[in-house]
């Protein structure tokens, strides 16, 4: 089948997650039907591929996403993916039906089902992804969606805390997985799983094998709640029971097991794998079972038993044998059925009695016979009682353990595995007997009874395979287990013995009998053992987790206080020192050959300009507290730089530099009028000396780098631009063609940055119009009154020059594609003319004449540039690709029409809009300060003060600015 049907297995639930939010308006039943239909459609798409998979095919489909990063949108389906995907969808359907009757009327069911489908789609993405980076995306999506599900009852503090804990642990594991997958892709030479699985030997021989293994195992252990990360799963039980039944028994916690199984051909078979995986699984199995034995809460028992069984599966995969893999896959299937049934049964008890405490329950079988029978069967399977499916996989686990030796001992691992099975029997029997048998231990607030059919039917649907597989394992599960195990081990042929109830009198049978008898005996002495346990020190994982989080928060705050001091000089010092340190490491760590290019002789004008540049730079450093003098000296530096551009035949850059200097100097002069004349001096000589040394080292390093580059022959792209400017971009001005065509995307980003800067200026100056900021500005500002604020000669000259400046701007704009010019320079020329109007005629008069707001100019500029790029996409060309054509015009000749001019219009409008918006805000602040000593409110200062317009014949007054 094509790529889309395979991708839809994950995409249908993901995109369908919005439908329950709409369907809930039609009622709870309609919402349930819509949600179940989404999962059912995904299941149908999955089962359509099942025949091909069972015939031994591996289905691949997808497309490229970001090829440069190795990221593709590819999926594949083999026996392992089919097995887990079917389990996710089938149990998901049952959970959806169960949730309809479990959730109360006050619970927002539409939101719950939306979160559930989002999680379901993410899990399906994990088990079907072919690209490892795509798998990481889905992996993190499961952490986020499970956070929403666990914290669904956000009014409960334990729900919020459980959700945060799960997100921190599993989200951190996701970061480990990302690093591990990047290293694995580097070691394998591909990020496609279907290719990586064929390169196991090369990966194991790679020096990156151990880091890859540790990172991947860290991700798997956190997701599957392995020791020492097991503590998050019990605290996640604060979630609604449908969430526990789905996430914490059948799906999310199995993601780590799936990852270990998927990468088993690549990572297993080494001592590192055996000791880390098998030991972690065995320890987790014992610790989880031991804690479960003493829990009072039904979901607490099931949560820790889930941790124990996840450890069992991890241990089997860690053994590294094919038989252990078969046993693991079989137990994954069996555990999903009986554990999901048990979680739902615990939810039924809670729903019907209002409690989950064993101290208050007992004798429920008489009042809830249907629920009791179903729960007792599932508990018997969890205990490993014969004729139920849990017994069969437990037997296989014991057989795999019996064949494992460590430290030369043949009994250590079998004994530990038997102990784990014994504890499993004990907590399973305690769960069943204390809840459903015997007499009630307390008077309940309600009279319990069996729930509606829709609530116990999903439990029955899960209990049926518990019994059926236990009676006919090979018939009902043999083909599935065999095909899945083949996909795990990567072998077309597998030494698969048919699943059977009876294998004769064997050591695993004896170990199972010991576990059953020992578990019952342990229950008899449960009370004194619990008393003894109370005397022993018990480290509390939650307390340790909270302590670690609190320590991390304190450390982060301490670091922020030390680093984020709000001092710009300190930030610049750290940045400069870092750059110098990194540069020094690179410089002194490599070879240094002398440059072969001869330097050019310095002419007298060049030497004079250089001396002027150095003098102005030193002047800025020496007299920086005088703001006006510093601005003048800085403009001198800019002027010398523009002359340098002219010297080296860069007229475009020279024009741009001069225009920028004019505009920025005038704007800064206007801004300085709002500030004190002097900058507060730094009284500390040591700090001055330190800063001078750092700045000097930075300047010397930059100069040395420039000298090293200019005295060496380097390969440059300039030759390509010179050759392709006319035929490829339609213009002879190479600089302009680069800006609007070859590197148009860079220019597009720069005008967006310019737009953002203008909006920031607007926001910052808006704060100076009222409140404490305005009062502080008034206290700093020195009012200077002039008898002739707007000389008539300057007014007349500025107004006469405005159309001329606009004409010059239009000329520079139109010639920019073939001669020095372009939208940026033209925008600066027009902006300079606008500034002159403000300075000559006053802020009020100029604002009254303005018909277009700076915000609109900015928006029009960015939209014009974006529309030019999008237009290229519509014709199947890359974004911002320009097109040009020559049109013959009588008496004139061929006239070029290029789409680049539309992009340049966007640049022009953005530049003008930035200056107009900045200037108008400065004008607003100036007018506020002159008209009212008391900071007015926002309503007193309109952006365009047309309400107070005077007749145009009126002369501007001296109070206008």
Give the pLDDT confidence score for residue 604 in this predicted structure: 87
Enter the DSSP assignment of 626: B
- Positive or negative CA dihedral for 804, 809, 814, 817? positive
Q: Tell whether the model's pLDDT for residue 929 goes beyond 70.
A: no
73 DSSP β-pair partners: 63
> Domain count of the chain?
2
Q: Tell whether the model's pLDDT for residue 407 goes beyond 90.
A: no
Q: How confident is the model at residue 896 (pLDDT cuts 50, 70, 90)?
A: confident
| Interval 760-811: pLDDT, tens | 988 888 877 777 766 776 666 655 555 556 778 888 888 888 889 889 989 9
What percentage of residues in the chain have a pLDDT greater than 90?
43
Do 504 and 637 lie in one domain? The reply is no
Enter the DSSP assignment of 875: T
Distance CA 777, CA 674 (A): 7
| Interval 101-120: pLDDT, tens | 999 888 899 999 999 999 99
Give the pLDDT confidence score for residue 945 in this predicted structure: 38
Distance CA 394, CA 398 (A): 6
Tell me the two tokens of residue 213.
Answer: 């293994």
Residue 452 lies in a domain: yes
Total residues belonging to the chain: 961
Tell me the two tokens of residue 465.
Answer: 């395979």
**How confident is the model over 841-862, as a mean pLDDT?**
81
Enter the DSSP assignment of 670: H
Q: How confident is the model at residue 179 (pLDDT cuts 50, 70, 90)?
A: very high
| Interval 720-735: pLDDT, tens | 888 888 888 888 888 8
Q: Name the H helices within 24-78.
A: 28-48, 50-54
Domain of residue 509, residue span: 270-524
Distance CA 332, CA 488 (A): 13
Q: How confident is the model at residue 920 (pLDDT cuts 50, 70, 90)?
A: confident
Q: Tell whether the model's pLDDT for residue 949 goes beyond 70.
A: no
Tell me the two tokens of residue 39.
Answer: 């999962």
| Interval 660-716: pLDDT, tens | 888 888 888 888 877 778 887 766 778 888 888 998 899 899 988 888 888 887 777
Give the pLDDT confidence score for residue 417 in this predicted structure: 93
Residue 464 lies in a domain: yes
Residue 160 lies in a domain: no
Range with top average pLDDT, 42-51, 563-572, 809-818: 42-51
Closest CA to 598 of 449, 711, 696, 493: 711
What percentage of residues in the chain have a pLDDT greater than 70?
94
Distance CA 860, CA 341 (A): 61
Do 952 and 826 lie in one domain? The reply is yes
Please check whether residue 102 is in contact with residue 451, taking contact to mean a CB–CB distance below 8 angstroms: no
Cis before 497 (ω within 30): no
Residue 386 lies in a domain: yes
Taking the chain, what is the end-to-end CA distance rounded to the nearest angstrom? 74
Give the pLDDT confidence score for residue 895 in this predicted structure: 74
Residue 115 lies in a domain: no
Q: How confident is the model at residue 937 (pLDDT cuts 50, 70, 90)?
A: very low
Give the pLDDT confidence score for residue 789 in this predicted structure: 66
Give the pLDDT confidence score for residue 777 in this predicted structure: 67
Give the pLDDT confidence score for residue 955 in this predicted structure: 39
Closest CA to 377 of 466, 451, 469, 246: 466
The H or E element containing residue 887 is strand 884-889
**How confident is the model over 43-64, as a mean pLDDT?**
90
Higher-scoring residue by pLDDT: 662, 127: 127
Tell me the two tokens of residue 445.
Answer: 């607030």
Give the CB-side neighbour count of residue 342, counting CA atoms within 13 A. Answer: 33
Tell me the two tokens of residue 481.
Answer: 């287990």
Distance CA 144, CA 748 (A): 34
Which of 383-392, 406-415, 441-450, 905-914 is predicted with the least confidence, judged by mean pLDDT?
Answer: 441-450
Q: Name the H helices within 589-740.
A: 604-622, 627-647, 651-672, 685-710, 718-729, 734-737
| Interval 302-358: pLDDT, tens | 999 999 999 999 999 999 899 999 999 999 999 999 999 999 999 999 988 888 888
**How confident is the model over 605-616, as a mean pLDDT?**
89
Which of 472, 498, 524 terminates a domain? The answer is 524
**How confident is the model over 840-855, as a mean pLDDT?**
77
Do 520 and 637 lie in one domain? The reply is no
What predicted TM-score, i.e. pTM, was given to this entire model?
0.72
Which of 467, 495, 524 terminates a domain? The answer is 524
Question: Measuring CA to CA, how many Å separate 436 from each of 351, 433, 445, 551, 855?
Answer: 15, 6, 17, 45, 72
Distance CA 838, CA 836 (A): 5
Residue 191 lies in a domain: no
Do 499 and 635 lie in one domain? The reply is no
Q: How confident is the model at residue 958 (pLDDT cuts 50, 70, 90)?
A: very low
Do 790 and 667 lie in one domain? The reply is yes
Helix (H, G, I), strand (E, B) or coil at 504: coil
Closest CA to 42 of 114, 2, 92: 92
Which of 524, 557, 577 terminates a domain? The answer is 524
Instruction: Output the 3-class SS for 935-957.
Output: CCCHHHCCCCCHHHCCCCCCCCC
Residue 561 lies in a domain: no
How high does pLDDT run on average in the chain? 86
Residue 165 lies in a domain: no
Give the pLDDT confidence score for residue 3 in this predicted structure: 44
Q: Tell whether the model's pLDDT for residue 505 goes beyond 90.
A: no
| Interval 63-74: pLDDT, tens | 888 887 788 889
Q: How confident is the model at residue 954 (pLDDT cuts 50, 70, 90)?
A: very low
Q: From the CB of residue 644, how many other CB atoms can be counted at a distance below 10 Å?
A: 17
| Interval 275-285: pLDDT, tens | 999 999 999 99
| Interval 132-146: pLDDT, tens | 999 999 999 999 999
Higher-scoring residue by pLDDT: 119, 821: 119
């Amino acid at each position: 089948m094509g790529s889309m049907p395979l991708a839809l297995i994950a995409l249908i639930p993901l995109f369908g997650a919005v439908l329950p939010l709409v369907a809930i308006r039609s009622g709870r039943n309609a919402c349930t039907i819509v949600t179940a239909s989404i999962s059912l459609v995904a299941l149908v798409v999955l089962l359509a591929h099942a025949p091909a998979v069972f015939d031994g095919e591996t289905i691949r489909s997808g497309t490229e996403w970001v090829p440069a990063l190795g990221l593709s949108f590819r999926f594949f389906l083999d026996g392992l993916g089919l097995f887990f995907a079917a389990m996710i969808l089938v149990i998901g359907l049952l959970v959806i039906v169960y949730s309809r009757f479990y959730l109360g009327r006050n619970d927002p069911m539409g939101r719950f089902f939306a979160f559930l489908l989002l999680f379901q789609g993410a899990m399906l993405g994990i088990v079907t992804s072919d690209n490892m980076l795509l798998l990481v995306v889905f992996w993190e999506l499961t952490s986020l969606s499970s956070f929403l599900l666990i914290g669904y009852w956000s009014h409960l503090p334990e729900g919020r805390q459980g959700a945060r804990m799960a997100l921190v642990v599993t989200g951190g594991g996701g970061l480990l997985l990302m690093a591990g997958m990047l290293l694995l892709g580097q070691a394998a030479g591909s990020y496609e799983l279907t290719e990586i699985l064929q390169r196991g030997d090369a990966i194991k021989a790679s020096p990156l094998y151990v880091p890859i293994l540790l990172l991947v195992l860290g991700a798997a252990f956190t997701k599957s709640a392995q020791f020492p990360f097991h503590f998050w799963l019990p605290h996640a039980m604060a979630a609604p029971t449908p969430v526990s039944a789905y996430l914490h028994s059948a799906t999310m916690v199995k993601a780590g097991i799936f990852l270990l199984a998927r990468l088993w051909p690549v990572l297993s078979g080494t001592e590192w794998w055996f000791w880390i995986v098998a030991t972690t699984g065995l320890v987790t199995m014992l610790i989880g079972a031991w804690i479960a034995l003493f829990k009072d809460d039904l979901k607490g028992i099931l949560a820790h038993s889930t941790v124990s069984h996840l450890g069992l599966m991890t241990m089997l995969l860690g053994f590294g044998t094919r038989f252990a893999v078969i046993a693991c896959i079989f137990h994954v299937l069996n555990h999903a059925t009986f554990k999901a049934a048990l979680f739902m049964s615990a939810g039924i008890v809670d729903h019907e009695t209002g409690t989950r405490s064993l101290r208050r329950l007992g004798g429920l079988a008489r009042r809830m016979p249907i629920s009791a029978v179903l729960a007792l069967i599932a508990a018997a399977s969890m205990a490993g009682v014969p004729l139920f499916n849990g017994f069969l996989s437990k037997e296989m686990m014991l057989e795999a353990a019996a064949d494992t030796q460590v430290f030369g001992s043949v009994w250590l691992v079998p004994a530990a595995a038997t102990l784990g099975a014994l504890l499993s029997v004990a907590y399973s029997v305690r769960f069943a007997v204390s809840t459903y048998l015997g007499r009630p231990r307390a008077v309940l607030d309600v009279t319990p009874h069996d729930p509606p059919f829709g609530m116990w039917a999903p439990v029955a649907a899960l209990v049926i395979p518990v019994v059926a597989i236990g009676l006919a394992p090979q018939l009902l599960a043999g083909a599935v287990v065999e095909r899945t195990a083949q996909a795990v081990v990567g072998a077309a042929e597998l030494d698969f013995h048919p699943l059977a109830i009876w294998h004769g009198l064997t050591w695993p049978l004896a170990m199972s009998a010991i576990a059953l008898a020992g578990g019952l005996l342990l229950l008899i002495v449960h009370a004194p053992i619990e008393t003894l346990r109370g005397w022993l020190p018990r480290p509390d994982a939650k307390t340790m987790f909270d302590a670690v989080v609190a320590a991390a928060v304190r450390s982060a705050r301490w670091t922020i206080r030390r680093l984020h001091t709000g001092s710009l000089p300190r930030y610049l010092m750290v940045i400069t020192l870092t750059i110098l340190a990194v540069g020094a490491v690179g410089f002194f760590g490599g070879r240094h050959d002398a440059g072969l290019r001869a330097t050019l002789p310095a002419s007298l004008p060049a030497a004079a300009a250089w001396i002027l540049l150095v003098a102005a730079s030193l002047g800025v450093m020496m007299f920086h507290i005088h703001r006006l003098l510093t601005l003048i000296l800085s403009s001198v530096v800019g002027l010398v730089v523009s002359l340098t551009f002219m010297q080296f035949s860069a007229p475009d850059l020279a024009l741009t530099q001069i225009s920028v200097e004019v505009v920025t100097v005038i704007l800064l002069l206007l801004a300085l009028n709002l500030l004190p004349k002097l900058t507060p001096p730094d009284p500390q000589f040591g700090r001055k000396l330190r800063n001078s040394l750092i700045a000097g080292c930075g300047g010397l390093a930059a100069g040395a780098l420039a000298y090293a580059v200019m005295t060496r022959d380097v390969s440059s792209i300039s030759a390509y631009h010179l050759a392709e400017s006319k035929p490829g971009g339609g213009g002879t001005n190479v600089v302009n063609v680069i800006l609007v065509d070859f590197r148009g995307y860079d220019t597009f980003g720069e005008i967006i940055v310019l737009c953002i800067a203008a909006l920031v200026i607007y926001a910052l100056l808006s704060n100076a119009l009222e409140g404490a900021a305005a009062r502080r500005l008034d206290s700093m500002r020195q009012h200077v009154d002039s008898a002739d604020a707007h000389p008539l000669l300057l007014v007349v000259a500025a107004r006469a020059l405005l159309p001329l400046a606009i004409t010059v701007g239009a000329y520079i704009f139109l010639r920019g594609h073939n001669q020095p010019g372009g939208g940026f320079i033209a925008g600066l020329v027009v902006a300079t003319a606008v500034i002159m109007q403000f300075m000559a005629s006053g802020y009020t008069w100029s604002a009254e004449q303005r018909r277009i707001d700076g915000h609109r100019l900015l928006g029009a500029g960015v939209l014009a540039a974006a529309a030019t790029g999008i237009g290229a996409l519509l014709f199947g060309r890359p974004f911002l690709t320009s097109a040009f054509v020559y049109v013959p015009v009588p008496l004139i000749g061929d006239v070029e029409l290029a789409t680049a001019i539309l992009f340049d219009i966007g640049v022009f409008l953005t530049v003008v809009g930035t200056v107009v918006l900045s200037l108008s805000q400065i004008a607003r602040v100036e007018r506020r300060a002159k008209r009212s000593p008391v900071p007015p409110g926002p309503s007193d200062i309109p952006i365009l003060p047309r309400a107070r317009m005077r007749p145009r014949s009126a002369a501007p007054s001296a109070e206008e600015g």
